[in-house]
Amino acid sequence: MKNYKLIVTDMDGTVLGEDHKITEENKSALKEAEKMGIKVVFATGRFHDSAKEHVTFLDDTMPIISSNGSIIKHPITNEVLYSKFIDKDICLKIMDIIDEYNLRYQVYTDEKILQKYETEEEKKFMKEFIQKNFSDKAEIIFKKDLREDVKNSNVLKFNVMEIEKQDLLDEVRADLQFVNNIEITSSWKGNLEIMSEGSHKGNAVEYLSKLLKIDREQIMAFGDNYNDLSMIEFAGTGVAMGNAEEDVKKIANHITDKNGNSGVAKAINDLILQKVVTA
């Protein structure tokens, strides 16, 4: 058995169940791993404040990798260990392209989330959608024009969402290829996420592992979507969820059960704790 020192796990679609909360089985397995001296880190596309409420069950509170690796921040002290912002001029170019397609988007800054909307009906829909699918306490500020806020903020990520016309996301992605110094990924079928070049979970995990003096072979990483590819490739042991995209499964060392069936716990029990658990 490998001498694991660090478990890094994605949140939505991975360690969180269908109700967007960490399953009790996953909590138990992660706590057992923690008792063995293994550090547990969450790496998510979420905004930092949206993620930190989910880590309180752990005894050894570790920094959180959020906004797809754009920032690493401690959930209690709020110390920023690493951050990578998008250049202001590039932000405006990104907004010009998204606005051409009349798509709604969020802007993640180092302090808040901004949500663009056009009509009150749309604003109500987005509030309900966010509450249903992300059920967290992160405050989101709704505005019809985000340009002045963006000019005066440190922007970590754009999150473009299109639920009904997902083909438009492919067109936006194609146009964004002509913008230099950005990173584009996706964390679910109806979105695009845009960060500064080099901002991805793999680089963030590498940065944190060097800080903690942990070799990559001692890292186990869990994920389900395209924004998890880089950290699954970097980790000595990459584990794809049963519900993961096929591209994630192809590069993973192991494939576990679905997030709704506590696949993270099953892999930890099997590969680290060496416990046989019957369903």
User: What pLDDT, in 10s, does the model give residues 14-50?
Assistant: 999 998 899 999 999 999 999 999 999 999 999 998 8
Contacts of 88 (CB under 8 A, 6+ apart): 150, 151, 155
DSSP character at residue 43: B
pLDDT for residue 182 is more than 50: yes
DSSP H helices in the chain:
24-35, 48-52, 88-100, 120-134, 147-151, 167-176, 201-212, 229-234, 246-251, 263-271
Roughly what angle, to the nearest 10 degrees, separates helices 167-176 and 88-100?
140
The answer to whether 251 and 233 have CB atoms below 8 angstroms apart is yes
How many C-beta neighbours within 10 Å does residue 186 have?
17
Give CA–CA dist 180/194, Å, rounded: 12
- Say what the pLDDT of residue 233 is: 97
Give the pLDDT mean for 254-269: 97
Average pLDDT along the chain:
91
Segment 107-135, tens digit of pLDDT:
999 888 899 877 788 788 777 777 666 65
Segment 209-247, tens digit of pLDDT:
999 999 999 999 999 999 999 999 999 999 999 999 999
The answer to whether 258 and 242 have CB atoms below 8 angstroms apart is yes
* Cα angle: 222, vertex 66, 84; to 5 degrees: 125
Question: Against a cut of 0.85, is the pTM above it?
Answer: yes
Q: Which of 75-84, 92-101, 134-143 has the lowest mean pLDDT?
A: 134-143
Give the pLDDT mean for 52-70: 94
Instruction: Tell whether the torsion through CA atoms of 14, 167, 203 and 3 is positive or negative.
Output: positive
Q: What percent of the chain has pLDDT over 70?
A: 95
DSSP character at residue 139: -
Q: Which residue has the tokens 């791993």?
A: 33
Supply φ then ψ for residue 203, to 5 degrees: -65, -40
Tokens of 73: 């921040």
pLDDT band at 138 (very low <50, low <70, confident <90, very high): low
Identify the bridge partners of residue 9 per DSSP, sorted by sequence position: 42, 222
The answer to whether 13 and 240 have CB atoms below 8 angstroms apart is no
Give CA–CA dist 232/202, Å, rounded: 7
Question: What is the gyration radius of the CA atoms in the chain, in angstroms?
Answer: 18
Identify the bridge partners of residue 261 per DSSP, sorted by sequence position: none
pLDDT band at 103 (very low <50, low <70, confident <90, very high): confident
